[in-house]
Structure 1
Amino acid sequence: MTFELQGDYDVVIVGGGAAGLNGALMLARSRRSVVVIDAGAPRNAPAEGVHGLLGREGMPPAELLERGRAEVRQYGGHVVTGEVVAATRDENADGIPEFTVALADGRPVRARRLLVATGVVDELPEIPGLRERWGRDVLHCPYCHGWEVRDRAIGVIAASPMAVHQALLFRQLSDDVVLFTHTTEPPTGEQAEQLAARGIRVVPGEVTGLEVENDRLTGVRLADGTVVRREAVATQTRMVARAGLLAALGLYPSEHASGMGEYIPVDAMGRTEVPGVWAAGNVTDIAAQVGNVAAAGAFAAAQINADLVAEDTRIAVAAQRVPAI
């Protein structure tokens, strides 16, 4: 089922993942006109299943999103395919915000409020073969994929200050974990002691590639030619908010305190620094899983609806106070 874009909506949601769709569901059920503009590039597309989401454990990501789209449309919400390239903000004579969202194909969409749920992009270490196996036997999250590689020979490639923490998390899932220092300094002091106590071997040297046989990961190759047999690899990505479209609004990503990437800051209600613009999901909470981002989308949508109710009420009161001529 497809929908033609209207000219005006109460809310435009940019991003059709769990956060955007759950936000749209909440707004549509509140009888708000809402459209989700989905570029069709979900972060978890390479994964076989969604994990840690009660009632939907193991469901393929594409199926979860398709069910979400159907639920939004069931309540009159629109979901359209398109890439948003920019968003601008104006105010009418009464100081009420008005947003115009520009799509790559030239279509404009106007709305009273904007919810950004564009997620993040995972930037992997520049190691040949890593991207090709991403989401299969090259992983980053023990909670998303750890059970699937339990009891296997796991290698953790250091790519951030979180490498030791990541290795310790994967050690919970397997007795055979190796930390490759790659281009980082070997752990010292308390971190080295922790790794030794948990039986995690530290392998120095730059990682230059992966060994694959019959479409299965079999080892990690070092610069000196050494191959360390491994069946799965974990590494920390740099997670960068998809936020280029917000530049015209004066919103720019900030560096996350963990050093894990960039995000769009919001307050406790999900509001950004720009009045009328909310953000939810990985774009503002870079490490959140599917359940968290869906909940954040619903919460932000409730705040947007309340904000619109307050605005509608102010307009109605002002109109009532105007003396009849």
Structure 2
Amino acid sequence: MNGTRTTERYDAVVVGGGAAGLNAALVLGRARRRVAVVDAGEPRNAPAAHMQGFLSRDGMPPAALLAVGREEVARYGVDLIDGRVEHIEAAASEEPGCVVHLAGGPVLHARRVVVATGLRDGLPELPGLAERWGRDVLHCPYCHGWEVRDRPLGVLGTGPAAVDQALLLRQWSADVVLLAHTLELTAVERERLAARGVRVVEGRIVRLVSDDGRLRGVELANGRVVPREAVFVFPQPVPRDALLFGLDCARDDNGWVTTDRTGRTSLPGVWAVGNVADPRAQVVTAAGMGAAAAFALDHDLAAEEIDRAVDERRASGAALPV
């Protein structure tokens, strides 16, 4: 531990206070575990006004969900720490555990750790795009398709996933345009788009045009502006996983942390849940991942405690129960 004094000890430290992290903390708090949630306040969905597809919370502002979640976990004695974790290291002991170093703050000793730090969306560098992100520049039809149904929609051809995105969006609007940009479409792709009723507009995109706080269209290199009220783009998901790989957790062939179905990583005592482990996870999915990790983590702690109690009983010379 490099001589640094450990100031607080917890059964579990959850890094990240989004849906995944808070739901893990909720389950563990209800299991009477001593838990801390450390959150830097940078949720992925902060630009969005509302979230969808979460039963009983459909249309709720993301910030409101987190506020309610923080209130709920606090009822069970969970410590909520506003701060940033700089790094995590394995504890210098035989049993699983980690030392969690906060920026400018205390050092926490955790018997187990849940990393729920999420991801950031790597957006194409097109003028006007970032400013409208989460408003009328969108990425997930299941998250936002209903809200822009029957409106003129565009799909930015900034990557190979754009074709499938355009084909899918046709369910929500009869007016869908694929702005090819740098894509070189195959004959099969063009046939599928035509059969689905998706128009293709050729030409390089130079910027998104907005006026009075609303998207108006997409400007091409030849000066033409294609009127659109909302556009979809597939961002590059970039996991916030530096803490995990500082612990040498294993990765898959695509560079993402590998976990079992409960979120357990290759390092004993460390779980990864939510978008840091699965870029496709929506809010409701991430919350479920947090719960699954908490169940497994608590069983892990209980097994350790039972084994220790048995060893202590044997060491005391107590007779075997009849």
Q: TM-score, normalised by structure 2?
A: 0.93
- Structure 2 partner of 1:184: 183
- Structure 2 partner of 1:154: 153
1:127-179 C-alpha deviation (Å, 9 max, x unpaired): 11111100100000011111111111111002222111111121111011111
1:45 lines up with 2:46 in the alignment: yes
Q: C-alpha separation between the residues in 2 aligned to 1:251 and 1:121?
A: 20
Give yes or no for contact 1:121–1:242 (8 Å, CA) kept in 2: yes
1:296 lines up with 2:289 in the alignment: yes
Give runs of ≥4 in structure 1 deviating > 3 Å. 252-256
Alignment of 1:16-165 (within 5 A): 16-92=17-93, 95-165=94-164
* SS of equivalent to 2:264: coil
- List alignment gaps of at least 5 residues for structure 2: 1-5
TM superposition shift of 1:251: 2.8
Two-structure CA RMSD over aligned residues (Å): 1.6
Deviates more, 1:117-126 or 1:247-256: 247-256
* SS of equivalent to 1:310: helix
Alignment of 1:205-216 (within 5 A): 205-216=203-214
TM superposition shift of 1:252: 6.3
Q: C-alpha separation between the residues in 2 aligned to 1:132 and 1:295?
A: 31
Paired amino acid for 1:53: F
Q: C-alpha separation between the residues in 2 aligned to 1:253 and 1:47?
A: 30
Identity of aligned residues (%): 52
Deviates more, 1:145-154 or 1:155-164: 155-164
Deviates more, 1:71-80 or 1:201-210: 201-210
Say if 1:121 and 1:254 are closer, same or farther in 2 by CA, change over 3 A.
Answer: farther
- Aligned length, in residue pairs: 313
Give yes or no for contact 2:7–2:107 (8 Å, CA) kept in 1: no
* SS of equivalent to 1:296: helix
Give yes or no for contact 1:35–1:77 (8 Å, CA) kept in 2: yes
Q: C-alpha separation between the residues in 2 aligned to 1:319 and 1:205?
A: 74
Give yes or no for contact 2:8–2:106 (8 Å, CA) kept in 1: no
Q: C-alpha separation between the residues in 1 aligned to 2:10 and 2:282?
A: 29
1:319 lines up with 2:315 in the alignment: no
Q: C-alpha separation between the residues in 2 aligned to 1:6 and 1:130?
A: 45
Query: What is the aligned counterpart of 1:276 among 258, 266, 269?
Result: 269
Q: C-alpha separation between the residues in 2 aligned to 1:255 and 1:167?
A: 28
1:251-288 C-alpha deviation (Å, 9 max, x unpaired): 365564xxxxx532211221111111111111111111
Give yes or no for contact 2:249–2:267 (8 Å, CA) kept in 1: yes
- Structure 1 partner of 2:9: 8
* SS of equivalent to 1:191: helix
Q: C-alpha separation between the residues in 2 aligned to 1:66 and 1:174?
A: 34
Deviates more, 1:242-251 or 1:191-200: 242-251
Give yes or no for contact 2:128–2:210 (8 Å, CA) kept in 1: no
- Structure 2 partner of 1:171: 170
Q: C-alpha separation between the residues in 2 aligned to 1:160 and 1:15?
A: 30
- Structure 2 partner of 1:259: none
Q: C-alpha separation between the residues in 1 aligned to 2:44 and 2:238?
A: 11
* SS of equivalent to 2:48: coil
Paired amino acid for 1:43: R
Paired amino acid for 1:82: G
